[in-house]
Amino acid sequence: MDYLDGLNPSQRAAVEQTEGPVMIVAGAGSGKTRVITYRVAHLIRKDVDPFNILVLTFTNKAAKEMRERIMKVVGNEAKNIWMGTFHSVFAKLLRVESTKIGYPSNFTIYDTDDSKSLLRAIIKEKQFDEKLYNVNFVYNRISSSKNNLVSPAAYLQNAQIQAEDFSTGRGSIGEIYQIYAQRCFKAGAMDFDDLLYKTNVLLREHPEVLYKYQNKFKYLMVDEYQDTNYSQYLIVKKLAANNENICVVGDDAQSIYAFRGANIQNILNFEKDYPDLKVYKLEQNYRSTQNIVNVANSIIANNKNQLKKSVFSENETGDKIKVYRAFSDNEEGKIVAEAIAQEQALKGSKYHDFAILYRTNAQSRAMEEALRKLNVPYKIYGGLSFYQRKEIKDLIAYFRLTFNPNDEEAIKRIINYPRRGIGDTTIERIMIAADQNNLTIWEIICNAHKYLDSRSSGSVANFALLIQSFQVMTKTHSAYDTALHIAQHSTLLKDLYSDKSVEGLSRYENIQELLNGIKEFSEREDIEERSLDIFMQDVALLTNDDNDKNPDADTVSLMTIHSAKGLEFDNVFVVGLEENLFPSQMSLSSRTDLEEERRLFYVGITRAGKKLTLSYATSRYRWGTLTSCEPSRFIEEIDARYLELDFKQAQKKTDNPFLDEERSPWQQKEMFSKPKPSSSVRTSSILPKAHVPSEGFSPSDTSGLQVGMEVEHERFGFGKVINMEGNKPDIKATIFFKDLGQKQLLLKFAKLRIIK
């Protein structure tokens, strides 16, 4: 029993309670994996046959790690445990039993691409509008139906579902679902969702099979139970019905996958299914400092729908949590990158000790650029590097072709994207004609009527005219206006906008983020050349694929908080903490959605072991318009005792001619001690807001500008000129801005309004 000696009292009690229904509420960093593995090992040590134990996880990595740990205690007997992800375990079960529901034992498992390819073919065969019946939307609709155990027949008979489809003009989704299911069955194939859906069908329609596995799996354990959907919940409930030796492990405070169908009520209402339930709470956090744990507790306390627990840490108190305020997302990236570089240099930390977490993948752009400029190595997890994402590469290919029409790779990438009726055969003919006539591909395209048949030459000629119109645009318009025009008139934006899936929305947001970056570039006041081709040059230098491919390389980790779940780092930066970004705008319509956003923030915070930093920007570009941002309500919900506000420029009292010595909100930290409002009531933030230009703002003629004059900048706010240098037309003014400190601007680009 020596393997139990290293457990704390709560952990040991949970391990030793092997009989009956058990729920282990495991706070972040509380040793959950150790408890699960030792509990399984303890069962085997008590002579439970490993073949009678079923352990369900959500990742293969978790299953592998657990099995290896169990082997260290019980040896090779651990190999006989039925352990793995829901999908892998029930695929194994279906291989044995699938003939009972009409499938061969060697059925094919379709991946997402296979499924979408079949759906695409069905939509085309039925001559449905491919934009209206976007394949990603249809796929997600069918997937959601299966996870809620809605069959094709039930889908077609459900009046509410049908009414919803018809209201969006997609009344034939049920028909597509039915044909898709028939085609899969005829092909002897199951898709990913079928592995759970068909298991439910099998257990429902064949009581003898259910009885067989109820008796086989005498002990069930489910990891991350808060992430289970209805289909998973029902399978587990049926299998445990006879013996009720079921143990679920999870943390309702880390339930963040509702968009995938996860139902937090499964864990919140677990006691209703098992009145004799024994509950064990793992509340000691071994990962984080006391300050980080206290911050996490003060955040999650605002959720009403939760299982109450008191997480604590006996680690060192640790640093207070820094809150950085930046003027823009680019400045936020710079602040974060500099903080990492400084920490690494001063303390000798490894880069892999750092993680930058954000709400959406599009936010990685500013972080990546700032890290590259300081030569800080990084790796994107859970997604591609911003400039390597398909949609970004597609739009950049249009930019490349506009400035260099002989760029063959760009031509091949976008000549038929979005679709314009130029198939592979036509592209092949263009390349052959170019080779035979010793011409470039672009020259063939521009003279399509000479080298191609009449059926295909029209579409190719229209493509040439489109690119030529973009070339004309570059001569008279700014980088941003040109980029936006290309994104719109290539119909790339429209194509992405029509995809209403989660993935489609993310791709659309990424294009928005690229355009935002170009907008900022086109308005920079520290450079003279700000055309789109110069931006492209900067991007090309920024994105050379010279990264070390070694997965063990010492790199900073960049990822969404969803991707970070289950991971831990010594130093964590949670960035972009602004209203409508985090919490996201879509989450503000209901308490349920807002509470999930708060749980997501909680997950981000609890990834940190030694040091946690939060940041937000007071302005961001949204579709080319500079938008003021309000600090996230989540910052306000944190007990101020654990915060350190790092607004450096605003704190330089002696140098700031505008600072109110008597009352500076971001310096008067005692204001935080006022009673907090309830989470359902919003108050104005005590954190400083972005500058809003004066009504009727219009730049003045600055030819007579002098030291001592007070001015207003559209973005930087109010300031006083403290120095001027240089000769016309390159006069530079040093201006001290009230909220941002000292900045040097080139007058011919500065767009200042002279106040007096």
What residues are labeled active site? 32-33, 223-224, 254, 607
Phi/psi zone of residue 421: left (φ > 0), alpha (ψ -120 to 50 degrees), beta?
left
Tell me: is residue 27 an annotated ligand-binding position. Answer: yes
Q: Report the C-alpha gap between 682 and 180 in whole angstroms.
A: 48
CA angle 217, 218, 220 (to 5 degrees): 70
Beta-carbon contacts of 725 under 8 Å, excluding residues fewer than 6 positions away, are 731, 732, 734
Residue 64, Cα to own-chain centre: how many angstroms? 26
Q: Which residues contact 523 (CB under 8 A, 6 or more apart)?
A: 480, 530
| Strand ranges, E, within 649-755 | 710-713, 717-725, 732-737, 741-746, 752-754
* Half-sphere CA count of 98, side-chain side, radius 13 A: 22
Binding site annotation covers 28?
yes
User: Who contacts 435 (Cβ-Cβ below 8 Å, separation ≥6)?
Assistant: none
678 Rama class: left (phi>0) / alpha (psi -120 to 50) / beta: beta
Peptide bond into 551 cis (omega under 30): no
Q: Which residues contact 203 (CB under 8 A, 6 or more apart)?
A: 209, 210, 213, 235, 238, 239
Please report which residue ranges of 543-620 form alpha helices under DSSP H: 561-564, 591-605
Q: Count Cβ atoms below 10 Å from residue 127 Cβ, excluding itself.
A: 7
Q: Are 139 and 112 in contact (CB under 8 A)?
A: yes
Distance in angstroms (rounded) separating the CA atoms of residues 438 and 77:
70
Cis, bond preceding 665 (omega within 30 deg of 0): no
Pairing between β-strand 752-754 and β-strand 710-713 as defined by DSSP bridges: antiparallel
Residue 33 annotated as part of some ligand binding site: yes
The type of residue at 524 is R
The answer to whether 348 and 550 are in contact (CB under 8 A) is: no
Is 29 annotated as a binding-site member?
yes
Residues contributing to the annotated binding site: 26-33
Residues contributing to the annotated binding site for ATP: 26-33
